[in-house]
Structure formats: structure tokens, C-alpha cells
Amino acid sequence: MTEGRVRVLMAKAGLDGHDRGVKVVARALRDAGFEVIYTGLHQTPEQVVNAAVQEDVDAIGLSLLSGAHMTLFPRILSLLAEQDATDIRVFGGGTIPDDDVQSLKALGVAEIFTPGASTVDIVEWVRTHVGESAVSGR
Amino acid sequence: MVRDRTLEEEYRIWEEERYGRDRSASFTTLSDHAVKPLYSPLDTSPESFPLDIGWPAEFPYTRGIYGNMYRGRLWTMRQFAGFGTARDTNRRFHYLLQHGVTGLSVAFDNPTLMGIDSDDPRSVGEVGRTGVAIDSLADMEVLFDGIPLDQVSTSMTINAPAAVVLAMYVAVGEKQGVAPEELTGTLQNDILKEYIAQKEWIYPPAAGVKLIVDTVEYTIEHMPKYNPISISGYHIREAGSTAVQELAFTIADGMTYVEACLARGLDVDSFAPRLSFFWNSHIDFFEEIAKFRAARRIWARLMRDKYGAGNPKSWLMRFHTQTAGVSLTAQQPENNIVRTALEALAAVLGGTQSLHTNSMDEVLALPTEKAVEIALRTQQILAHETGVVNTVDPLGGSYFVEALTDDMERGALDYFKRIDELGGVLPGIDAGFFQRELGDAAFHYQRQLERREKIVVGVNEFVTSAPSDIPVLKIDPEVERSQIAGLTELRTRRDDEHVSAALARLQSAAERGDNVMPFVLDAVRAYATVGETSETMKRALGAYREPAFV
């Protein structure tokens, strides 16, 4: 169970109340053997990053269906940089148009899953891109 | 022909002799309800016509609430819209009215839904993104500029700060010279489904219900043509519920409001005729039609038999329907036009009073004008070309539809029992019952998709790699800046002493447990903001924080 050590913070930031997706992904990751922490709704970027650092997670999975992704993802990336925690990978999902997906990846978001993504693919991505087993691949 | 066999025997023989080999081991609805190969008179009882089906406009209203349904009046084509500033949305409203919508429906942005002002740090990046930004009466005045409120009915999707927005609507009416008595429309004002599904709240659940009773009481007295609540299954379904859960949880919420109004001392027939509902129309065609028909029947029976309503208008479930946003796919988005058309058809065959059809691009962003036009044209094609409006409840008497309607009703009654055992909806929310039921159903469906037990075209079957190239509406970041500039300007222009005094009176009223509506109206007329008003009430009523569980 090397994956048992991989910790993922699943997060909802901003005022968005859509939590169907984040909960489905959290369960799928947990079922796959990862340790999953869920922030609950309506978190500020500061709260998300503080939780990630305190919980010593390997990745933050941010769910956004509010259209605020171009504000909240960059804010979280810069707060991680301020806290010297850029080893925490940030991935995400939600209603995010293609153009914005490209911009967010350029800013340092590792991956974005858009509507229709399979949890099988998300689990596989986390397995290969997050945590110690993935370090050599980075 | 004289029968020498019973129906049961005939069915058995038919099954043996005529029925071939199935291509799949089981056939189920989208909600996983088993569907039999064939329905026949065996699936309904001889008493079902007088007891369960009956005539339109007669108890239990399974077939519709009006005698001549769409032969008398078509449903209201009501397209939900809102983005950017009040000025942007006002322009979209005028566009929709020019193209034949017959009612407006306002989508508010997340800060407004949460009772937070646009210049609050928590609003950064959210202003005008998923709806229109409304901070004060000044914005509402612009939103309805050139729209006569005595002629156009308006639905407003607002819940936690519903009392504030209702007060603003009344105040805009006053400015237009339209008395509250003449205002028509619907306030969503259904806080229970926020804790269950939509998750845009301010106060704890019991306080939220209290505020709803305040608005009901106010509208009974001052706004006789206005619907103070739209008890909503839509969001429950979008959050992952099955059809039966949508039906059961929503009607359970409705019962909770009825009981809270009765506890206030209101007469059931004074408010029940003004309650309305809001359903999702998902992609499983017959399941949805059965759900709508069962909903009317359950509500009529509850209102007459459980709550003793004497006025037949109290027994009627009037409802709005929206096609299922969650059924739309980002892959091959043009296919969403077809999905929406089928869902809209189900809503019409189910007897809806008003309808919103989603635009094909809503899975990507807020809709463009072109996409909205196609969605509206879909309704017009149903109404004017297909002929489905020519007769009342065309599917009534279908063995399958009637059996499925019965199943829906039974399923809902089972849930009512479970909710009663939990002590009701409020304790159920505290215990996380509804949230867990939805989470389980959503996860189960996701697994079915991944095992390809359920097929979604373009997602897990018939997949193409061609990227979609439909245009997407972008909200200019300038919206946030200009909204905040307007708010800053308002704060300097208005009479602050007047605002503070009105808010202080509101806080005392909320602390005393009085009906807050007159006090909210005063605050709003003085241009107190949505955030200030909500913050003031929060000091009296407390704030809600959901326990986080997966």
C-alpha cells in the first residue's frame, strides 16, 4: 500500500455550492486507496492552502463550477509559493472552457478534468503524478 | 370473442410464445428502476381510473390541473437568465421578450445568492459570473428598466437572501407605480433544498424556514398574485438524486413549509394556493412523465387529507420545469439540443405550467444569445408544430405510464416514512441523511457510467476526438470592477444615517422574532445593500456551517 501514504486535499473554494463532482471524486480516490481530506464548501484560497500545508498533503484537487477559476486557481498557486509549498501539486476539475484550461496549465496547474471525465482516469492520473512514487516521473 | 383464459394466463403464454431473447440482462430507468418487458391491464387495478387517474382538473389531478390544459393556454416559456451587471442582464431580458418569452426568470451571481456584496473579499472573481450581480435597490432598478412589472411576471432564483430580494422587487414596483397587489411572479425561496443540494445558505436551517414563513405571511397580505415559494426538486436532482428521491425530498420540504406556516397560525387555504413547485426534467422520458403525474397526485392527497385544506385550489400542484443541466455533455455539445428537446417534451406531456429549456453550451459556460435562441425555439416547435398540445394528458391510460406513476408514488411514500422516523426534514438535514442519499446515488451513477451499464452518447460511447468549436460566452473581468465602482458610488450617495437606523430596527425585529419583511423593506428602500441586510440578520439569527463529509 504505497498509495496509502499519498494524501490528497479535495477542495471547494469560493462561493460555489456545487459539490456533486468533488464528492464523487473524493470517494473514488478513497476507494482507490488514497488518503482523502475534504475541506467542505465555501473555503477561501487561504483556508485551502493552510489546510493543505497543515495536513501535509501531496496534492490539492480543486473543484470549481462557478466561473471563478481564473481567479481562484492562480491565487492558490501563489499562496503555495508564498508558503514555500510548491511541492504540493494542484489539479482540478469543473466547468472550465478549453482556453482557460490551457492558461491554467501554463500557470502551473498540473491537470484539469472537465465534464465527462471518468474517475478511473482521475485515479490513474493521481497514481502516476502525485506522491513519492511519482517523483521520479516529474 | 369470449375469453376462456385469464389475463394472467394469456400473459404467460404471450411471454413463452411471442417474446424473444433480450439483448441485455436488465432494463432499468435512469434512476435504476426496473422496467418490465410489457405492461398490460394486469399492471393497473380496475379501481385505478376513478381513484388514481380520473379527470383533469379533478382530484387527484394526476392528469393535470386545468380542464383543457394547453388547449386553453400554453405553458409559460420562461428562460432563466442573468450575467454580468444589471445593465447586461436587462439587455438580455429585452432580447428574450422580443423573441417571444412570456415570462422572465432572474439568475443571480454567487455573491448575491450568498448575501455578500460585490466588494467583499470573498466575492473576488465571482461577481456577475454565474448570474447577475445585485448589491442594492439601485441595481434592481436597472435590472427591470423598461420592463413593466404589472405586465411581465418574473421568477427570481434566490433563497437565503430571498426576503431582501423580494423587498427590492416590491420597491422597484413602487418606483414604477405598480402596487405590490399587482405584482406577479415567483420567488424560489426554498431554503431546505439549499442545505440538501444547492448549498447557498446564510442562516441555520430553522431560521431559514422562519424567514420563509415571514415572506409567505407578507405576500398573503400584500401580494395576492405572487408565489412566495417555488419548492424545488431541480437542484436535488442535479446534485445526483434519483427521480423518486427528487419527488420525495421535495414534497417533504413542501410539507415542512406547510407545517411551519400552520404553526405560525396561518390558515392552510390562505397560503396553499400560492405554493408552487419546480421540477427537473431529466433524460429518461417516461420516468419523468410519471414523476410529474405522481407529484400532482401526492400533493393533492396530502393537502386535502393530511392538512385538511378545503379549497380545491390548495390541492393543485402548479409547477415550473427546467430540462436537466446535468444531462448535457461537453463532448459534441450540439447533441444537447436533442437532449433538451426530449426533456422538454416530457415536461409538456407531464403537464408543466412553465418551462425553461437549457442551451446546448451551458455545460461549458453561460449561454450565448444564439444558443438561448435555439433553446427557446425548441419550446415553440413543441407548442406549435408537434401537435402534442392538442389533447389533455395524451399518455393517460398508458399501461406503462400509469404503472410507473404508481411506482413513483409508492417510492415517495416509503421515503416519507423514513423521513418521519428521522423526526422530519430539519433533523434529517442535521443528520446528513439527504446529503448522503444524494452522494450515494451520484456515486452509483458515476460507477454505472464507468462500467458502461449506462450509456451517454459522446462520453462513454460513440466518442469522437474532434474538439468542440462552439463559441463560449466570456464574462469580461471589467464587470467586477464596474460593479464595485457602482457600489462604492452608492455608498457615498445614500443617506448613511437612514441606512443604519433601518438596519438597527431590522436587527431588533429579527431578535424579537417578528416578521422581518416590513423592516427589510425599509432597509432596502434606504439602499442598504444585500450584504449589509444579510449581515444584520445574521447577527440575530446566526450563521450556518455545514459539517464536511464525503
Q: Which of B328, B344, B329, B354 is nearest to B288 (CA)?
A: B344
Per the listing, cell 446564510 goes with: B202
The answer to whether the beta carbons of residues B526 and B498 sit under 8 Å apart is: yes
Amino acid at B390: N
- Residue A16 in contact with partner chain B when CB distance is under 8 A: yes
User: Any residues with CB less than 8 A from the CB of A13 and at least 6 apart, and which?
Assistant: A43, A44, A45, A48, A62, A64, A68, A72, A76
Q: Which residues pair with B177 in a beta bridge?
A: none
B219: Cα separation from own chain's centroid: 20
Which pLDDT score, from 0 to 100, does residue A134 have?
61
Q: How far is A91 from chain B (nearest CA, A)?
A: 19
The answer to whether the beta carbons of residues A7 and A34 sit under 8 Å apart is yes
In this complex, is the C-beta atom of A39 within 8 Å of any C-beta atom belonging to chain B?
Answer: yes
Burial class (CB in 10 A: 0-12, 13-18, 19+), B82: buried
CB nearest to A14's CB, from B126, B545, B549: B126
Q: Give the H/E segment covering residue B276.
A: strand B275-281
Low-confidence ranges of chain B (pLDDT < 70): 1-2, 548-550
Residues B369-426 pLDDT 10s: 999 999 999 999 999 999 999 999 999 999 999 999 999 999 999 999 999 999 999 9
Which among A17, A26, A39 is the nearest to B200, CB-wise? A17
H or E element: which one contains B81? Answer: strand B76-81
Sign of CA dihedral A117, B128, B322, B195: positive
For residue A1, the model assigns a pLDDT of 43
Rounded (to 5) percent helix, strand, coil in chain B? 55, 10, 40
C-alpha distances in angstroms, B318 versus B32, B102, B266? 27, 17, 21
CA B72 to chain centre: 24
Class of CATH domain B67-385+397-450 = alpha beta
- Answer for the pair B307, B348: CB distance below 8 angstroms, yes or no: no
Residue B4's contacts (CB-CB under 8 Å, 6 or more residues apart) are none
Could you say which of B125, B364, B458 has the minimum Cβ distance to residue A95?
Answer: B364
pLDDT of residue B465: 84
pLDDT tens digit at each of 138 positions of chain A: 444 589 999 999 999 999 999 999 999 999 999 999 999 999 999 999 999 999 999 999 999 999 999 999 999 999 999 999 999 999 999 999 999 999 999 999 999 999 999 999 999 999 999 986 665 444
- Residue A43, chain B, CB below 8 Å: the answer is no
SS3 category, B366: coil
CA–CA distance, B268 with B311 (Å, rounded to integer): 9
pLDDT of residue A133: 60
Distance from CA of A131 to the nearest CA of B (A): 22
- CA of A57, closest CA in chain B: separation in Å? 18
Q: What is the pLDDT of residue B364?
A: 87
Domain boundary assignment for chain A = 2-127
Neighboring chain A residues of B460 at a CB cutoff of 8 Å: 118
Name the architecture of domain A2-127: 3-Layer(aba) Sandwich (3.40)
The pLDDT of residue B45 is: 86
pLDDT at residue A3, rounded to an integer? 45
CA angle (B45 as vertex; B43, B48 as ends), nearest 5: 115
Strands B103-107 and B76-81: parallel
* HSE of B331, CA atoms in CB hemisphere, 13 A: 16
pLDDT for position B2: 64
Task: State the cell numbers at B202.
Answer: 446564510
B-proximal residues of A, 86-125, CB under 8 Å: 95, 97-99, 114-116, 118-120
User: Do A12 and A22 touch, CB atoms closer than 8 A?
Assistant: yes
Residue B472: how many CA atoms within 13 Å on its side-chain side? 18
Look-up of cell digits 459522446: B458
* Residues in chain A closer than 8 A to B363 (CB atoms): 95, 115
Closest of B168, B199, B195 to residue B106, by C-alpha: B168
Chain B contact present for A78, CB below 8 A: no
A14 in B contact zone (CB under 8 Å): yes
CB B221 within 8 A of CB B182: no
Cell triple for residue B135? Answer: 448589491
